[in-house]
Amino acid sequence: MYVAVKGGDAAIEAAHRWLAHERRGDTALPEITAAQLREQMALAVDRVMAEGSCLDRDLAALALKQSRGDAVEAAFLLRAYRNTLPRFMAAEPLDTGAMQARRRISATYKDLPGGQVLGPTFDYTHRLLDFALAAEGAALPAPEEDAEGTGPMPQVTGFLAGEGLMREEVPEEGGAPPDLTREPPSFPASRPLRLQALARGDEGFLLGLGYSTQRGYGNAHPFVAELRVGEVEVLVEPPELGFAISIGEVTVTECQMATQFAGSREEPPQFTRGYGLIPGQNERKAMAMALVDRALMARELGEEATAPAQDEEFVLLHSDNVEATGFVEHLKLPHHVDFQSELEKLRSIRRRWEAERIAARKEAAE
């Protein structure tokens, strides 16, 4: 029997009105603006932008305001908005070597061309709560400036590649890279497909997986060959112009992680690189992405793949937090009919089980 059920409209409406109030919080305090979030909650905004896979800091800030600070909900909102826009064209690959880096460090070379540039980092802070921030309007000394700017910063992995000690990255020519926003992933997945999935994947999921490779689930002994954060130019070549133009800059975080590879019959022992590239400033995720990227190369390198981080189906099909939250949270939706049928089934099984038990007891007694 099918019973159509309708209702709840008024309840939903009332719930949403209350939600708007809860979002606003104490009205004695000034309302926060999306622009304030963009400027002062910059890293939360960057995370939403990366996982929403839509680079627009204003939209990400608005999504964060709407979601009351729930990063996954905000990423969901951004993805939904993105679906309403047409795609003009793909940009040329970002040239991260030409980045205007505000931060660039290497854990493998102390003295390297361009130097170790710390930039505005939390590293080396004491992680003590700063109660001065609880007050408003504290004086802010201007950042220091050197007389000269930074010099060119060649990519560290290039030094090792020059010596033949770093597995070379071969630019594959021909055809657009696979795009999982257009077609679902197929397996075995190519490295470009894996990198796309990781770049938009959930930070916490990737961090846990990356950590697992360090703790022995995947046997990684990585070095941060280089980590850089800064602005890169976006170049497109519109057909109406017929030449490439620079349409602005985006902030990205790049991590090159070097891991030893024992070599195979065809390839000599050398370093391999795990690669992380994340829209916005997010070193933790760039590093985690590089660890997981390297772990996922196990099949190509002929290594034994035994750990979760090396299983591309496991990683790629569970890294997207918008998909994951959709499937987990759909359990909240009414399953009344499903549950009733399960309940009926269970009752009948239970009746049979009890009847059999009584019969068995009787038999034993006889």
Partner 1 sequence: MATRPEWISVLARASAEEIGSLAGPLPPYRRLRGPETGLTMLRGRAGGAGAVFNLGEATATRCTVALPDGTLGHGWRLGRDRHAAEVAAVMDALLQGAEGEAWHARVVAPLAEAQRAAREQKSRRAAATAVRFSTLGTMR
In angstroms, the CA 329 to CA 276 distance is 29
Residue 15 or 244 with smaller CB distance to partner 1: 244
Residue 103 or 284 with smaller CB distance to partner 1: 103
For residue 15, the number of C-alpha atoms closer than 13 Å in the C-beta half-sphere is 5
Q: Give residue for tokens 């800064």.
A: 230
Which residues are bridge partners to 233 per DSSP? 249
In angstroms, the CA 328 to CA 169 distance is 38
Q: Residue 167 CB, nearest distance to partner 1 (Å)?
A: 9
- CA 188 to chain CA centroid, Å, is 21
For residue 345, the number of C-alpha atoms closer than 13 Å in the C-beta half-sphere is 6
Closest CA to 254 of 277, 233, 234: 277
Q: Residue 104 CB, nearest distance to partner 1 (Å)?
A: 8
x-or-dash pattern for partner 1, window 299-318, by CB under 8 A?
--------------------
- Name the one range near partner 1 by CB under 8 A: 184-192, 301-309, 312-320, 358-366: 184-192
From candidates 245, 262, 328, 346, binder to partner 1 by CB under 8 A:
245
- 140 contacts partner 1 (rule: CB under 8 A): no
- 186 contacts partner 1 (rule: CB under 8 A): no
Closest CA to 277 of 192, 174, 218, 355: 192
- 157 contacts partner 1 (rule: CB under 8 A): yes
In angstroms, the CA 274 to CA 256 distance is 6
For residues 277-296, which are near partner 1 according to CB under 8 A? 277, 279
For residues 188-227, which are near partner 1 according to CB under 8 A? 190-193, 195-196, 199-200
Residue 46 or 73 with smaller CB distance to partner 1: 46
Which residues are bridge partners to 51 per DSSP? none
Question: What's the angle, vertex CA 318, arms to CA 253 and CA 203, rounded to 5?
Answer: 30
Q: Residue 19 CB, nearest distance to partner 1 (Å)?
A: 26
Q: What is the DSSP string of 183-245?
A: S---SSPPHHHHHHHHHTS-HHHHHHHHHHHHTTSS----EEEEEEEEEEEEEE--TTT-S-E
For residues 107-126, which are near partner 1 according to CB under 8 A? 110-111, 115-120
Question: How many other C-beta atoms are found inside a 10 Å radius of the C-beta of residue 150?
Answer: 15
Q: Residue 318 CB, nearest distance to partner 1 (Å)?
A: 19
For residues 25-64, which are near partner 1 according to CB under 8 A? 50, 53-56, 58-59
Question: How many other C-beta atoms are found inside a 10 Å radius of the C-beta of residue 283?
Answer: 22
In angstroms, the CA 309 to CA 215 distance is 12
In angstroms, the CA 366 to CA 217 distance is 58
Go through the chain and tell me how many residues it has. Answer: 366
- Name the one range near partner 1 by CB under 8 A: 32-40, 162-170, 301-309, 320-328: 162-170
For residues 86-105, which are near partner 1 according to CB under 8 A? 86-94, 96-97, 100-103
Residue 23 or 324 with smaller CB distance to partner 1: 324
Q: Residue 162 CB, nearest distance to partner 1 (Å)?
A: 12
For residues 318-357, which are near partner 1 according to CB under 8 A? none
Residue 244 or 349 with smaller CB distance to partner 1: 244
Residue 46 or 311 with smaller CB distance to partner 1: 46
Q: Residue 28 CB, nearest distance to partner 1 (Å)?
A: 33
- Name the one range near partner 1 by CB under 8 A: 20-28, 131-139, 274-282, 326-334: 274-282
- Name the one range near partner 1 by CB under 8 A: 2-10, 172-180, 324-332, 341-349: 172-180
